[in-house]
């Protein structure tokens, strides 16, 4: 795993106790809401989710590919790191923060709760610096100042389609990479709200 330091970010290659570092978000109020996992085995820290309110009044489900395209996909949240939560499997490898993946190849479900178990979510605000998941097998990579979106059914952040003049028909949630990383599960982003992309 490699993270290339730059004038904007020279810290560690994954989050500590929170996905939204307070020292990078001093002018943004970070709100932590109690939610319930609507999906089993995927709502781990750093995964983008949206409010569903289906089985439970506070249910959240993992965002799908190019989330934000539909009119009712205007808000996105991120699952927060939790300390010693019994809803997540505590093991020797994850003793303190059992829903925080390392930057090594892991099984996603080992770091996520079952359906209808409590999670903490943070509403993303424009300009917020946030650690997001880009892989679970240490195969992810991003390039500083490149724009990314939610690009898989598992909620990972990945490359957006190249816009073309005659096909800019979607507006999705966009994340700017704050530092270049390679062979990682985590990357630090600045959430930028919606941006138009093509449909390819």
**pLDDT tens digits, residue range 42-83?**
999 999 999 999 988 999 999 998 898 888 889 999 999 998
CB 157 within 8 A of CB 150: yes
Tell me what the pLDDT averaged over the chain comes to. Answer: 90
- For the full predicted model, state whether its pTM sits above 0.75: yes
Q: How far apart are CA 29 and CA 110, in angstroms?
A: 31
Is the confidence at residue 165, as pLDDT, over 60?
no
Domain limits of the chain? 2-9+18-198
pLDDT confidence of residue 164: 56
Q: How far apart are CA 50 and CA 61, in angstroms?
A: 6
Average pLDDT over residues 130-138: 97
pLDDT confidence of residue 95: 74
pLDDT band at 152, cuts 50/70/90? confident
pLDDT band at 99, cuts 50/70/90? very high
């Amino acid at each position: 795993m490699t993270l290339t330091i730059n004038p904007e970010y020279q810290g560690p290659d994954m989050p500590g106790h929170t996905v939204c570092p307070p020292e990078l978000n001093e002018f943004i109020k970070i709100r932590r809401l109690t939610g319930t996992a609507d999906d089993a085995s995927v709502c781990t820290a750093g995964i983008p989710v949206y409010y569903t309110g289906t089985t439970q009044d506070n249910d959240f489900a993992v965002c799908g590919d190019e989330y934000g395209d539909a009119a009712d996909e205007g808000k996105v949240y991120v699952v927060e790191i939790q300390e010693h939560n019994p809803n997540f499997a505590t093991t020797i490898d994850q003793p303190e923060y059992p829903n925080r993946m390392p930057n090594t190849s892991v099984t996603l479900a080992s770091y996520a709760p079952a359906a209808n178990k409590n999670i903490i979510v943070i509403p993303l605000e424009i300009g917020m610096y946030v650690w997001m998941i880009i892989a679970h097998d240490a195969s992810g990579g991003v390039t500083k100042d490149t724009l990314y979106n939610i690009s898989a059914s598992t909620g990972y952040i990945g490359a957006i389609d190249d816009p073309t003049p005659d096909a800019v028909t979607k507006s999705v949630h966009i994340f700017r990479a704050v530092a270049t990383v390679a062979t990682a599960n985590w990357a630090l982003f600045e959430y930028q709200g919606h941006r138009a992309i093509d449909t390819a």
